[in-house]
Structure 1
């Protein structure tokens, strides 16, 4: 563990720092997943995941669940439209314990954050919210011209001061060649094993949904458990209603009692007072 002070001047420990991740580039494969709650962060930590990433507003929860994991706070594209908004959100997330900040914005925003010495993760390849420029959801870099343009985009982000990149749905051979030539720590999401970090959303890993992207693999089946819970909830509620209607609930073990002498005295007294 590395000893650090966070942006709130609080002493803490981290499994990795930005400097560590740069030093490990090309030498050691790491894992990253999402964490947007205390439980998700704690599960990632308990499972030995190296890095976690979540929405900036969930930084405190992620930090509570995984106090020592390197956490990247994502500043959602549509929620912080101006540069001032982005900078404010970044400072707040870093104050809450984030170790880096993610943005899907262009080099000008990356540069804005990097000038404040915030480790910045950019986003290249398939950026889903901007997929209309590429004709929809598809891999980016499948032609030589497109792959060269992608490489140039990596270089622009390097020049802007980015520290790492979410590299999404890039052909694996292209990702491998770019990753070994760029100084950016590459987080491969659907881009093969050539990245420095293999990244997958926690809901996909755990099988929380029946539909997943082609690049994702479910290593669990939480969806089946959720369906079981859903069915069990309705079964229990129906059984409760039927028990009430049949008179079997509440039964003697589920009700408070009074001894016979006290009950007799009570009934005598209210009979006198009520005249009945």
Structure 2
């Protein structure tokens, strides 16, 4: 259902999901779907496909909003773009006034509280966090041991206490995700953590087959990489044909060049040679 809201830029807007709607859906597994989008074309395709939510880089919110006015947009706050508390707040408010509905951060709990104190909807990031993967030694699911599972449970609690309204749970064992989500007030966004979440999330590049390798937790529904290979091959074939035609003087032909009346050309010759 489409909800009417006022955006952070104070414009009368419509959204396919809201923070209130997400919270009300707590316990409804798969109530919403989320993908990535960093361009107007990706956002337009997501909305047309019935997707309700997208994640994008904070600096790309304006482009995403050009493609969709209704998607719930979560802006990812980059580590390098916003370092100090002042920069974090400035980046967050800029993303919100550009059209974002929430922000996501994997920063310390104090940052979550800083943002939440301004009533900014904050999404945390727990489980396997790619940029922090050196701490777990490799790309792997986090929470497979009892110690890690207990640690995650307490991290969920601390994140909620810090003021986050939702959490992206990445590469957690599905049964652990279900158990913790049932004991948490956070809206859960599952990326490779099973179906027991209000929001199920996959990267658009994985869904559409834009990369050679698809992660274990993802499913490929398209093959854009094949289409790109066809485009590359077609481009090379066309360029080679052009070069060959230039070499044997078969391009350009008379029909592909501008003409000039005989009288005008004769007058031109007479005037420059006289």
Q: Report the TM-score when normalising by structure 1.
A: 0.95
- Measure, in 2, the Cα distance between the counterparts of 1:260 and 1:136: 76
Tell me the equivalent position of 1:233.
235
Tell me the equivalent position of 1:112.
114
Q: Contact conserved, 2:28 with 2:197, CA < 8 A, in 1?
A: no
Q: Contact conserved, 1:179 with 1:196, CA < 8 A, in 2?
A: no
- Measure, in 2, the Cα distance between the counterparts of 1:260 and 1:28: 78
Q: How does 1:51-130 map to 2 (within 5 A)?
A: 51-130=53-132
- Measure, in 2, the Cα distance between the counterparts of 1:39 and 1:86: 28
Which residue, 217, 220, 237 being the options, matches 2:219?
A: 217
Shift of 1:63: 1.1
> 263-272 or 44-53, which moves further after superposition?
263-272
Tell me the equivalent position of 1:9.
10
- Report the count of equivalent residues: 272
- Deviation string 1:83-115 (CA, Å, 9 cap, x unpaired) is 222111111111111100000112111111111
Q: Which runs of 4+ in 1 moved over 6 A?
A: none
Change (3 A) 1:2 1:169: same
- Measure, in 1, the Cα distance between the counterparts of 2:153 and 2:29: 23
User: Higher relative CO (CA 8 A, sep ≥ 6), structure 1 or 2?
Assistant: 2
Task: Return the index of the structure with the highest Cα Rg.
Answer: 1
Q: Report the TM-score when normalising by structure 2.
A: 0.96
SS for the counterpart of 1:61 is helix
Q: Contact conserved, 2:43 with 2:68, CA < 8 A, in 1?
A: yes
Q: Contact conserved, 1:50 with 1:69, CA < 8 A, in 2?
A: yes
Tell me the equivalent position of 1:189.
191
Tell me the equivalent position of 2:207.
205
- Deviation string 1:149-203 (CA, Å, 9 cap, x unpaired) is 1011000011011011110000011111111221111110011111111100111
Which residue, 178, 181, 193 being the options, matches 1:179?
A: 181
Shift of 1:28: 5.3
- Deviation string 1:223-250 (CA, Å, 9 cap, x unpaired) is 0111111111111111111111110000
SS for the counterpart of 2:188 is strand
Which residue, 160, 163, 181 being the options, matches 2:162?
A: 160
- Measure, in 2, the Cα distance between the counterparts of 1:269 and 1:84: 72
SS for the counterpart of 1:167 is strand
